[in-house]
Amino acid sequence: MSSVAPVRIGVVGCGLMGRELAAVCGRWSQLVDHPSAPEIVAVADPNPAAREWFRRVSTVETFAEDWRPLVEDDRIDVLYLAVPHDLHEELYIAAAGAGRDFLGEKPFGIDLPAAARIAAAVDGSSSFVRVSSEFPFFPGALRAFSYVSSGALGDILEVRSQFAHSSDIDRTKSINWKRRVETCGEIGVMGDLGVHVAHVPLRLGFRPESVYALLDNVVTERPGPDGAAVPCDTWDNALLACRVPGGPSPEDRRFTMLWETRRIAPGQMNSWSFEALGMDGGVRFSTRTPATMQRFALRDGEQVWEEVQPGNLSSWPTISGGIFEFGFSDALMQMWASYLAERAGALGNRFGTATVGEALDAHRVFDAALRSQASGRAEQPHG
């Protein structure tokens, strides 16, 4: 085994995602010969109960109310920034200004101007920064990505990238920060789920040149902290129909790409899916059926969808046998394995997690979607 470098991590935001990282670090030994050994040494959250949860993580030395001591602490190698969207800009810019490496949660700024300012700060810094997006690390998603990148599809006909759940189908569910424009952003569900659907298409070079959006705010009020109804003003569901250049020349034909993000999708628990069809082949994968992916081919004059079982082979090798099933927490561990391997210069040709440029491109599309919703026409992403 080659040398392993300890990586001291500070977590800002001890909610859902901060805790997931604690679980990832706790079973890091599942990875084979990874160059880094992460441990959480500091946490920051103004909510005492959220901080207290981390008492069970024996490596944590610092429990802070404010994030500034973590950003300024030279003994911390990497920060994981997992806070509500209205806090991204100040925190991410401060982390870049202090030269801290970090994995920032999506959407990487509450809107396009915030994302652009964060990207400029990262550009002007020495920080190694990536954006959280774990679903492409499902083995079936990685296989679908490789298949499309290989050119096996020929001329692309259409691409569909979707994330759908039904967490908000219950109208009596209480309001939270993800359902308010002030804290989630005007982009609403696109801020919540949009980077997840953007990551693979953008990595494949599928950049929309125009966007026609259908945005829907279905539930406009929810019970507040005292039970009285308060406005729930974010978009719940978004369907973006994008036109994408099929080649570099203006004469090249354009293909259709759909980005779909839904918080109210009856029948869906939490499904990320990707599908691409071309003249010579096709591919589709959904986390709803994680053990299989489908490929399309014309064989002896027949149209054939064939099922492939990708096994448990993601970005970084693990001690688990290749025949076992893969799940959400495995995807998170693989994303962290990828981020820390890339930081250590050891990623090789493995799949890397989302870049700052990809998060910014995603924001450009969401911004065009907001303008399209207002104008009723297709709009071009700016920049």
The minimum distance between CB 312 and ligand NAD, in angstroms, equals 20
| Residue of 47, 146, 174, 375 that binds ligand NAD (CB under 6 A) | 47
Q: Which amino acid is at 227?
A: G
d(CA 161, CA 202): 11
Q: With contact defined as beta carbons under 8 Å apart, do 175 and 223 qualify?
A: yes
287 binds ligand NAD per the rule CB under 6 A: no
Hey, what's the torsion of the CAs at 239, 241, 246, 252, to 10 degrees? Answer: -170
Residue 341 beta carbon to ligand NAD: minimum distance, rounded to whole angstroms: 18
Question: Closest distance between ligand NAD and the C-beta of residue 378, in Å?
Answer: 27
Judged by CB under 6 A, the chain residues 99 through 128 that form the site for ligand NAD are 105-106
Could you tell me which residues come within 8 angstroms of residue 81 by beta carbon, excluding any fewer than 6 positions away?
A: 12, 13, 88, 91, 92, 95, 102, 103, 104, 105
27-43 CB burial, b ≥16 within 10 A, e <16: ebebbeebbbebbbbbb
Angle at the Cα of 211 (from 206 to 213), degrees rounded to 5? 130
Contact 85, 191 (CB under 8 A): yes
> Which one of residues 1, 2, 3, 16 is an interface residue with ligand NAD (CB under 6 A)?
16
Angle at 63 between CA 61 and CA 67, to 5 degrees: 120
Residue 195 or 368: the one with the smaller Cβ distance to ligand NAD is: 195
CA–CA distance, 269 with 339 (Å, rounded to integer):
27
Which position among 12, 187, 213, 347 is part of the footprint of ligand NAD (CB under 6 A)? 12
Candidate segments 76-84, 295-303, 311-319, 347-355, binder of ligand NAD by CB under 6 A: 76-84
Binding mask 128-167 for ligand NAD (x = CB under 6 A): ----x-x---------------------------------
Using the rule CB under 6 A, give the single segment among 7-15, 243-251, 274-282, 358-366 that binds ligand NAD.
7-15
Q: Is 82 in the site for ligand NAD (CB under 6 A)?
A: yes
Query: Is residue 46 involved in binding ligand NAD (CB under 6 A)?
Result: yes
Residue 313: closest CA among 66, 137, 114: 137
| Residue 230 binds ligand NAD, judged by CB under 6 A | no
Contact status: 85 vs ligand NAD (CB under 6 A): yes
Is the CB of 147 or the CB of 336 nearer to ligand NAD?
336
- Distance in Å, CB of 176 to ligand NAD, minimum: 7
Is 17 among the residues that bind ligand NAD (CB under 6 A)? yes
The CB-side HSE value for 240 (13 A sphere, CA atoms) comes to 37
Q: Pick the closest to residue 263 from 306, 295, 232, 307 (CA basis).
A: 232
Among 15, 69, 311, 352, binds ligand NAD (CB under 6 A): 15
* Interacting residue with ligand NAD among 10, 84, 188, 310 (CB under 6 A): 84
Between residues 194 and 278, which has the closer beta carbon with respect to ligand NAD?
194
Per-residue binding letters, 51-70, with ligand NAD (x by CB under 6 A)? ----------------x---
Separation between Cα atoms, residue 102 and residue 131, nearest integer Å: 9
Secondary structure (DSSP) of 1-67: ----EEEEEEEE--SHHHHHHHHHHHTGGGBSS-SEEEEEEEEE-S-HHHHHGGGGSTT--EEESSS
Tell me the closest approach of the beta carbon of residue 134 to ligand NAD, in angstroms.
Answer: 6
Q: Collapse the DSSP code of 97 into the 3-class scheme (helix H, G, I; strand E, B; otherwise coil) and give the result.
A: helix
Smaller CB distance to ligand NAD: residue 189 or 241? 189
Contact residues toward ligand NAD (CB under 6 A) are 12-17, 44-47, 50, 67, 82-85, 87, 105-106, 132, 134, 192
